[in-house]
Homo-oligomer: A and B are copies of this chain.
Amino acid sequence: MPRIYWEDFTPGSVDTYGPRRVTREEIIAFASEFDPQPMHLDEEAARGSLLGGLAASGWHSCSILMRMMCDWFLLESSSMGSPGVDEVRWMRPLRPGDEVTLRRTTVETRASKSRPHMGTAKFAFELINQAGETVMTLTCTIMFGRREAGSVAPAAASAAAAS
């Protein structure tokens, strides 16, 4: 049974989790498999890039954020997945040895009109390094099961029945 349901997310609340240390080995392992651009693999090549030194693939940063979300609250929740991501900004390099914390702002929650057992929550995440600098921002919506089923508006119910 989940411990955290849709009802437990409060719009406007800000919470943090971490830190998690990022190693040189995992940066190179991820890049070797998914993003083998020299700036993510080789210190010297990276020094000549806009990153100014070896840094994680942006997709590695996203994947680290996802794992932190899982360990923090998602695996204990009634999560039903996500339709996608609204925006990702890679603002500063994520370096070997960085210790990152994850800050979550709950932007809004909505009850599903057609599924009385479901609601969505929109979050703005910031991945922050040990110097307090924002490395990445990411905005996404996650679907959660509700602790107690809501009512379904008649219009929405007939639309769902028709689809």
Contacts and interface: CB of A to CB of B under 8 A. Distances in A.
A interface bracket (residues with beta carbon within 8 Å of B): 20 to 34
Interface of A: 30, 33-37, 39, 49-51, 57-59, 62-64, 66-67, 70, 74-75, 79-90, 143
Nearest to A79: B37
Contact of A87 (B35, B58, B85): B85
26 contacts: A30-B63, A33-B63, A34-B63, A34-B66, A35-B63, A35-B66, A36-B67, A36-B70, A36-B75, A37-B70, A37-B74, A37-B75, A37-B79, A49-B80, A49-B81, A50-B80, A59-B59, A59-B62, A59-B63, A59-B66, A81-B90, A84-B87, A84-B90, A85-B88, A87-B87, A88-B88
